[in-house]
Amino acid sequence: MSTPSIADELRAQGQWHKGTELGKLLQWAALHIESQDEALAELREAHAEEETERLRLEAAMNHARQAIEAAYHAVNQPLCPPIELARDMAGHINLMAAHGDPDYLLKNGMSARHVDLREKPPRKQTTRKATA
């Protein structure tokens, strides 16, 4: 059982008072309310379309923002890892000491001709006994 709308109630009361000014006013009010309902339905439909379009544009903007951020990070990403310059100068020290440069000599004036470049200490060599 559905409840009658206000326009239906006004129309029923207008029929009850048919032929009087009150009946005319109630009939006019019912027609006016129905026309306003139609206008409101059109506005609600237009609003729903606009809301759908707004949500679509908002999603497109979010996708564009993510693409721009990804491009920004790709542009700012270094092409090669940072290089530590002058980290290992042992080759230069060996070369300069071999040429007798005084800045690369030992305190006793002898040339420091070799700087060990190995990362691990060398293995201990075992002596082999010669078998005859």
DSSP string, 92-116: HHHHHHHTT-GGGB-TTS-B-----
Report the candidate in 113, 117, 114 with the shortest Cα–Cα distance to residue 100: 113
Average of per-residue pLDDT across 113-121: 65
Q: Per-residue pLDDT averaged across 100-126, rounded?
A: 68
Task: Report the DSSP beta bridge partners of residue 105.
Answer: 111
DSSP code at position 103: G
Model confidence at 74: pLDDT above 80:
yes
* pLDDT 10s digits, 20-40: 777 777 777 777 877 888 888
pLDDT value for 59: 96
Higher pLDDT, 87 or 13: 13
Q: What is the dihedral of CA 56, 62, 64, 67, to 10 degrees?
A: -140
pTM: 0.39
